[in-house]
Amino acid sequence: MCARFTLTAEEKDFLKENPYHLVGDYNTDSNIAITDYGFIVTSDQPDLVQKMHFGIVPHDAKSNKLTYDTWNIRSEEVMSKRTYRPLMTHRKTCLVIMDGFYEWKEEIKGDKEPWRFVVPGRKTFCCAGLWSRWVDPITKEEYDSFGIMTCEANKTVGEIHEKQRMPVILHKFEEMKWLNKKLSVDELLSLCVPFPDNKMHRYRVSKKVNKVSTKKAPNKEADLILPLNTDEEPRNPIKPKEPVPKKPKSQKKPNDLKSPDEPDLFS
């Protein structure tokens, strides 16, 4: 499962690694959650990067409100699901651009620790996805949305994610294949395999990322992606004790050097 991801790369790096025409403004986000915007490249317009809402709204839905999990799509079951089969059949594939994603591990019952997963050496990477367009029956306004394909987790993710799932991360040379409408469904689904462990890295982050943003209480700060505790100072830092200077040894006077039984020659 992948319900939160990030896109924090600078615009110059984003455009360098994604040589498509960007539609609209570019903005970073360290906590992309369900219904938030993500940056997507579709098979219908493979030369454009555009924004869509996270979580698929089927074209025949009564409203654009999500009523069940459509943000993750199990690649093994995609052709058996009424919501996704038409999208796959008509090659409504897309690339979901990100630079990391979050998963949680329950260390203590009821207490989950967040982890961030990245691909070292790449400022951004793409996950396989499907997209859909819903049209408001009254206003005729279009609402575009997407979901992320998932597969069995590799060891790096599986040690954290209890359901042993992970997003389908594509190698660079596979990205255009996923958008190729001429490939068969089987050929496309053959790309939905675990990403190599040796090409991924994970680290713990602050529990501050756990909160989902709202209009009244946004949770999009850049420090959410920092490794745990690097963005936090101790509440009561303990000051190291200053070394106590040693007293110099006092030099004994000549009379102090004689033994107790020795007579004083000068008395």
Domain that holds residue 178: 5-225
The total domain count for the chain is: 1
List pLDDT tens digits, range 156-202: 999 998 889 999 999 999 999 999 999 999 999 999 999 999 999 99
Q: Is the pLDDT of residue 256 over 90?
A: no
Instruction: Answer whether residue 237 is part of any domain.
Output: no
Instruction: Answer whether residue 246 is part of any domain.
Output: no
Q: Say what the pTM is.
A: 0.84
Instruction: Answer whether residue 234 is part of any domain.
Output: no
What mean pLDDT comes out for the span 64-69?
Answer: 89
Cα distances (Å, whole numbers) of residue 210 to 23, 39, 114, 122, 191: 30, 22, 7, 25, 31
Q: Is the pLDDT of residue 254 over 60?
A: no
Instruction: Answer whether residue 248 is part of any domain.
Output: no
Q: Is the pLDDT of residue 261 over 60?
A: no
Instruction: Answer whether residue 16 is part of any domain.
Output: yes
Q: How would DSSP label each residue in 65-103?
A: ---S--SEEETTTGGG-TTTHHHHHTT-EEEEEESEEEE
What CATH number does the domain containing 94 carry? 3.90.1680.10
Residue with tokens 């068969």: 184
What mean pLDDT comes out for the span 55-64?
Answer: 94
The reported pLDDT for the residue numbered 195 is: 98
Residue with tokens 């990477």: 125
Instruction: Answer whether residue 180 is part of any domain.
Output: yes
SS3 content of the chain, % helix, strand, coil (to 5): 15, 30, 50
Q: Return the bridge partners of 96, or none.
A: 40, 127
